[in-house]
């Protein structure tokens, strides 16, 4: 059952981390359905660590798929291409600064409000926001990350700060912000992928350090479920990212907005009923 549970959670993480639909909202529901007995889900300290560590598997999928584009040392790149790659990384770093500063300051507080009420509210609010933005925002001037200014990158980073509120969705906040400042959907999605690398790696290291500093020790079975969860998240993320990139080239994000609203209502209904 432990292996089945971590496989299910890895699948959910691999799908929801990249789609603008909130991995937290889905994982809360999955946790409710799978909790019971002596499952690692019921170990609050370890499960909190688990949710962040399996994100590393999802991050490895981005690195794998975009390795050449992300690698400024690739011998096949010209001097200009290497310079452009460094420029892209500097924009990613600039965009990550707000989340690094504000996110660290508010980390403990946000953990306290991670409940179904906040998650469901954010699912619905941002679902409505996606529908409104898609209907009203038709102007796009940035068709490549290379065309993005550092100011634009910083503004997108400010939107990423919103994702510290449970249920918002990191990819949802950054994609929405990127579209509002003039990025095409494909650029918004791709930049969101790249922003996740330093943010999620940093948060995972922070959570692991906090877990160990508090004197907690992982058993061999807990290490096993972590590794399996990471592997599953990696494989599913590879598939999901490819599908999302293909999707946004032909469709808008309204369907994700509708889905978020429905999921928010489902979360509210479930917890009020049970």
Q: pLDDT digit string (tens) for 2-15?
A: 889 899 999 999 99
Name the band, by pLDDT with cuts 50, 70 and 90, for residue 205: confident
**pLDDT average, residue stretch 189-213:** 85
Q: Percent of the chain scored above 70 by pLDDT?
A: 97
* 99 pLDDT more than 70: yes
pLDDT at 28: 75
* 101 pLDDT more than 70: yes
User: pLDDT digits over 182-192, tens only?
Assistant: 999 999 999 99
The residue range of the domain holding 150 is 2-273
DSSP calls for the chain: -HHHHHHHHHHHHHHHTTTTT-HHHHHHHHHHHH--TT-GGG-HHHHHHHHHHTHHHHHHHHHHHTHHHH-TT-TTS-HHHHHHHHHHHHHHHHHHHHHHHHHHHHHHHHHHT-SHHHHHHHHHHHHHHHHHHHHH-----B-SGGG--HHHHHHHHHHHHGGGSTTS-HHHHHHHHHHHTTB-HHHHHHHHHHHHHHHHHHHHHHHHHHHHHTT----HHHHHHHHHHHHHHHHHHHHHHHHHHHHHTT--SHHHHHHHHHHHHHHHHHHHH-
* 217 pLDDT more than 90: no
**pLDDT average, residue stretch 26-37:** 76
For the chain, how many structural domains are there in total?
1
pLDDT at 36: 65
């Amino acid at each position: 059952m432990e292996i089945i549970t971590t496989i299910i959670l890895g699948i959910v993480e691999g799908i929801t981390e990249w789609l603008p639909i909130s991995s937290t909202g889905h994982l809360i529901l999955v946790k409710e359905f799978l909790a019971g007995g002596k499952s690692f889900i019921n170990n609050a300290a370890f499960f909190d660590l688990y949710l962040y560590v399996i994100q590393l598997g999802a991050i490895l999928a981005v690195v794998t798929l975009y390795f050449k584009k992300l690698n400024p040392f690739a011998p096949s790149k010209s001097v200009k291409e290497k310079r452009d790659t460094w420029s892209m990384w500097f924009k990613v770093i600039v965009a990550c600064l707000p989340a690094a500063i504000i996110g660290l300051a508010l980390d403990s507080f946000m953990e306290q409000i991670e409940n179904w009420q906040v998650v469901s509210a954010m699912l619905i609010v941002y679902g409505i926001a996606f529908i409104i933005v898609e209907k009203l925002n038709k102007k796009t001037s940035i068709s490549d990350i290379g065309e993005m200014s550092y100011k634009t990158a910083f503004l997108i980073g400010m939107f990423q700060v919103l994702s510290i509120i449970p249920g918002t969705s990191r990819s949802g906040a950054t994609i929405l912000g990127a579209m509002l400042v003039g990025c095409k959907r494909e650029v918004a999605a791709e930049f969101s992928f790249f922003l996740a690398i330093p943010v999620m790696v940093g948060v995972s290291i922070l959570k692991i350090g906090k877990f160990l500093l508090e004197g907690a020790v992982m058993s061999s079975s807990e290490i096993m479920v972590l590794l399996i969860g990471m592997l599953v998240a990696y494989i599913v993320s590879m598939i999901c990212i490819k599908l999302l990139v293909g999707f946004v080239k032909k469709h808008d994000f309204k369907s994700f907005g509708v889905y978020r609203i429905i999921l928010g209502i489902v979360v509210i209904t479930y917890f009020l009923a049970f």
